[in-house]
Amino acid sequence: MDFFERQEKSRRNTKFLVVYFVAGVAMMILTIYLVASVVFNVAGSRHRHHYYGYDYDSQVQMNQVPLWNPKLFCGVAIGTLAVIGIGSLFKTMELAQGGSAVSSMMGGRLINPNTTNLDERKLMNIVEEMALASGVPVPQVYVMDGEEGINAFAAGHTTSDATVTVTRGCMKLLTRDELQGVIAHEFSHILNGDMRLNLRLLGIIFGILCLAVIGRVLLYARGGSRDRNALPLFGVVLLILGYVGVFFGRLIQAAVSRQREFLADASAVQFTRNPLGITSALKKIGGLGESGSRIRHAHAEEISHMFFGNGLSAPLFTLLATHPPLVDRIRAIDPSFDGKFPPVKYPSEEEIPERIGRTAAPPRFPGIPPIVPAAVALGAVMPNLGTPNTAHLHYAVELRNSYPPALQTAARDAMGATALIYGLLMSTDSAMRAQQLDLLAQNTSAAVRQETERLLPQIDPVATNAKLPLVDLALPGLRQLSPAQYQQFSKATQALIEADGQIDLFEYVLQKIVLRHLDTQFNGARKTVTQYYALTPLATDVSILLSALAHAGSNDPAQCQSAFQQGAQSLSSLMPTPLRYVSSDQCNLPQVDTALARLNQAAPQIKKNVLNACALVVAADGVIEEMEAELLRAIADALDCPMPPFLQSAEPAAAAATPNAG
């Protein structure tokens, strides 16, 4: 099952969510109505008895319990729906901020990207390596300081606003390999589309759990006259019903999350090729006893489906379990597991010093570890998309260590990160560069220009295939910008790109990646709604994109046209009319921008076909060069399909990209 199929599956599961939710709400309304009708009939009979004194009992007994009371039913239905609806809406709006909303809700503390604390540094290094290996920007990392158990979760709508949160227990009790296994599991969630599903579930669950909260509030409300003595009673009732809500909530969570845990475990093993890492992390959880992965925080209930291990106490019914049993999970990876959990030892002191000192042969110059090819095989492009494996991880470790320390440090603070991006946008021509630096000083300040000039000698030698990863590393630093500084930054990058008056597709896509990922933080997280399920409405956009790629590859019009044809041909079976080749003045940067934005709203399978076509266009001259490969990776990023770095050793999978893809 490739990346696109997994995304598709996750999208379909989201539809099931709605079904479960509606069923759950309907049952809740019924239950509440039944209880309410009993309550109000009791209250009503006492009321009548009090006011009318004489014995109405005989008459009352005849219509004691009218099971169907339309007014009451409407009232209950409307009230419940209003509460659940408002609650879910409220939570969903709160979650618009992205993963950081969930992490802060759970009491997480944001780890400073340039932290010097050894445990935090170890964690950040692991996360950076995983991000480089997957081709996603480095997510924000949070720590739940008050939690001693071993647990973690990933939250967010897209890779732009993703956060990874771990407990303090994770940092203290796990070795580097085990921690890597846990983080790989979380990255699998990020790449499988689970995050989006989970976040939507969270919004919905909150509405159902609201009733329990309201019940608690009403319980302590003062009853006034005897007319209103039903109020605190109703509070008790709501409280009980709130727990009915909890029951249904957990049912829904369990239905959605259990299978995905097995999948994420398997992906993690594929990623790290180190089954020991994740199995021994799971064994440590078991070794800690009953509360190995327990989360004490009050909000644990709401996100229990997102945790690495079971965050709540053992469920009453296995039907309500959000996670498969530990032993089953371990056996799924390591069938020889005997079921006994060894006692937990704290990792020895020698473990903690970083592996930074242990790089292999010194790289030729920054950013080119020896295993990266100068040209990429066409067959290697699509299969690895969204499916990083161990080779990518090793490459990522080497790559990260090959960047000069000055660049690594610069990436982690705001000013350094902006200087890094400005440096990557600088022209190689010295006259143009001088002009750009002047523009930079005009748009920002002399200090920023000074910093950029300081870093330029180290940015220039960075190889082409190491530029995009550098951008991914710089995202944490860029996130520290204030909104005003971010505005300044985006204007400055625009000025730098427009300075030479020429269209440089690579420059443009680089800027697009940065702004796209930061946009979610500064302008609210976007939830891309899939709008296009067929290729036909997107015909113009695809033509623009493929034409732009063709023009970028060559100056000879005939060659461009034939390159375009190669790509268009692969899509011909999916479209009634053939794609039109567009001249270069009609596929300028703003148009490519719009085209990519629209293509981003397409279903996963469509994106797969489009990316395949792009790869064919780029490979039309017989070989995909480094620059073209990076361009492909950048376009894949713009379409929210993270592409791992290209490696020599990448095995073209059996289902290699062919001209007749689909």
Partner 1 sequence: MTALGLGMIILLGAIVVLFFVVMFVVSAYNRLVSLRNRYKNAYAQIDVQLKRRYDLIPNLVETAKGYIKHERETLENVTKARNIAYAAAQTAAANPGDASAMKNLGSAETGLAGTLSRLMVVSEQYPDLKANENMMQLTEELTSTENKISFARQAYNDSVMTYNTQREVFPTNFIANTFNFGPAESFVIDKPEEKEAPKVQF
Phi-psi region of 20 (alpha: psi -120 to 50; beta: other; left: phi over 0): alpha
Residue 19 or 447: the one with the smaller Cβ distance to partner 1 is 447
Task: Sketch the per residue contact string, 46 through 75, with partner 1: x for CB under 8 A, - otherwise.
Answer: -x-----------------------xx--x
Least distance (Å) between residue 226 CB and partner 1: 12
From residue 85 to residue 104, the character string flagging contacts with partner 1 as x (rule: CB under 8 A) and all else as - is -xx--x---x--x------x
Q: Closest approach of Cβ 488 to partner 1, in Å?
A: 10
Q: How far is the CB of 142 from partner 1 (least distance, A)?
A: 11
Site string for partner 1, 111-140 (x = CB under 8 A): -x-x--------------------------
| Piece in contact with partner 1 (CB under 8 A), picked from 167-175, 224-232, 547-555, 632-640 | 224-232
DSSP bridge pairs for 154? 164
**Nearest approach, Cβ of residue 298 and partner 1 (Å):** 13
Q: Which stretches within 425-482 are classed as H helix? A: 430-443, 446-459, 467-478
Region from 80-88, 312-320, 345-353, 504-512 binding partner 1, contact rule CB under 8 A: 80-88
Phi and psi torsions of 258, nearest 5°: -60, -50
What angle, rounded to 10 degrees, do the helices at 505-522 and 626-638 form?
30
Q: Does 234 bind partner 1 (CB under 8 A)?
A: yes
Question: In which region does residue 339 sit, left (phi positive, over 0), alpha (psi from -120 to 50) or beta (all else)?
Answer: left
- Maximum C-alpha span of the chain: 104
Work out the end-to-end distance of the chain between its first and last CA atoms, rounded to an integer number of angstroms: 14
E strand residue ranges, 126-187: 140-144, 152-155, 163-167
List, in sequence order, every residue forming a beta bridge with 624; answer none if it has no partner: 376
Among residue numbers 466 through 485, which ones bind partner 1 (CB under 8 A)? 480-485
Signed CA dihedral, 147, 344, 112, 641: sign only: negative
Select the residue interacting with partner 1 from 319, 447, 623, 655 (CB under 8 A).
447
Encoded amino acid at 182, one letter: V
Instruction: Encode burial over 141-154: b for 16+ CB neighbours within 10 A, e otherwise.
Output: bbbbeebbbbbbbb
Torsional sign, CA 367, 610, 549, 487: negative
Between 356 and 447, CB nearer to partner 1: 447
Q: Can you tell me the distance from the alpha carbon of 154 to that of 103, in angstroms, rounded to the nearest whole number?
A: 9
Please pick, from the candidates 2, 42, 49, 79, the single residue that binds partner 1 as defined by CB under 8 A.
79
Complex with partner 1: residue 59 or 482, whichever CB lies closer: 482
Binding window for partner 1 (CB under 8 A); candidates: 290-298, 450-458, 529-537, 558-566: 450-458
| Torsions phi, psi for 140 (to 5 deg) | -75, 145
CA 302 from centroid of its chain's CA atoms: 18
Q: How far is the CB of 71 from partner 1 (least distance, A)?
A: 6
Segment lying near partner 1 (by CB under 8 A), choices 14-22, 40-48, 318-326, 430-438 = 40-48
Closer residue to partner 1 (CB): 216 or 527: 216
Residue number, 455 or 657, with CB nearest to partner 1: 455
Q: Are 475 and 160 in contact (CB under 8 A)?
A: no
Q: Contacting partner 1 (CB under 8 A), which of 29, 278, 391, 448?
A: 448
The answer to whether residues 79 and 35 touch, using CB atoms and an 8 Å cutoff, is no
Whichever of 91 and 512 has its CB closer to partner 1, that residue is 91
Q: Which residues are catalytic?
A: 186
> Cα(452)–Cα(437) distance, rounded to whole angstroms?
9
| Residues in region 597-636 near partner 1 by CB under 8 A | none
Q: Nearest to residue 37, comparing CAs of 16, 55, 64?
A: 64
- Residue number with CB closer to partner 1 (84 or 195): 84
Candidate residues 451, 626, 628, 637; the one interacting with partner 1 per rule CB under 8 A: 451
CA distance readout (Å), 414 to 479, 482, 606? 7, 9, 37
Contact 162, 139 (CB under 8 A): yes
CA-wise closest residue to 108 among 294, 265, 295 = 295
How many chain residues interact with partner 1 (CB under 8 A)? Answer: 44
> Smallest distance, Å, CB 83 to partner 1?
6
Shortest Å, Cβ 429 to partner 1:
27
The partner residues of 164 in beta bridges, in order of sequence, read 141, 154
Output 81 or 300, the one with its CB closest to partner 1: 81
- R_g over Cα of the chain: 29
Dihedral angle of Cα 21, 25, 26, 32, to the nearest 10 degrees: 160
**Helix/strand/coil for 602:** strand
Q: How far is the CB of 470 from partner 1 (least distance, A)?
A: 19
Using CA atoms, how far apart are residues 390 and 489, in angstroms rounded to an integer? 36
Q: Is 550 helix (H, G, I), strand (E, B) or coil?
A: helix
84 or 182, CB closer to partner 1? 84
* Site map 297..316 versus partner 1, x via CB under 8 A: --------------------
Using an 8 Å Cβ cutoff, are 587 and 536 in contact? Answer: no
Residue of 42, 213, 219, 246 that binds partner 1 (CB under 8 A): 213
Among 179, 372, 382, 414, indicate the residue that binds partner 1 (CB under 8 A). Answer: 414
Question: What Å distances lie between residue 514 and 485, 493, 509, CA to CA?
Answer: 14, 10, 9
Choosing from 26, 38, 78, 655, the residue that interacts with partner 1 (CB under 8 A) is 78
Establish if 39 lies at the interface with partner 1 (CB under 8 A): no
Complex with partner 1: residue 67 or 484, whichever CB lies closer: 484
- Give the nearest distance from C-beta 253 to partner 1 in angstroms: 22
Query: In the range 172-211, which residues lie near partner 1 by CB under 8 A?
Result: 210
Q: How far is CA 83 from CA 35, 238, 573, in A?
A: 17, 12, 50
φ/ψ (deg, to 5) at 375: -130, 150
Q: How far is the CB of 480 from partner 1 (least distance, A)?
A: 6
Of 110, 266, 327, 495, which one interacts with partner 1 (CB under 8 A)?
A: 110
The nearer residue to partner 1, 203 or 292, going by C-beta atoms, is 203
Q: How far is the CB of 216 from partner 1 (least distance, A)?
A: 11
- Single out the residue of 33, 35, 37, 36 nearest to residue 63, CA to CA: 37
Residue 478 CB, shortest distance to partner 1, in Å, is 11
- CB nearer partner 1, residue 22 or residue 447: 447
Q: Which residues bind partner 1 (CB under 8 A)?
A: 40, 44, 47, 71-72, 75, 78-79, 82-83, 86-87, 90, 94, 97, 104-105, 110, 112, 114, 210, 213-214, 217, 227-228, 230-231, 234, 413-416, 447-448, 450-451, 454, 480-485
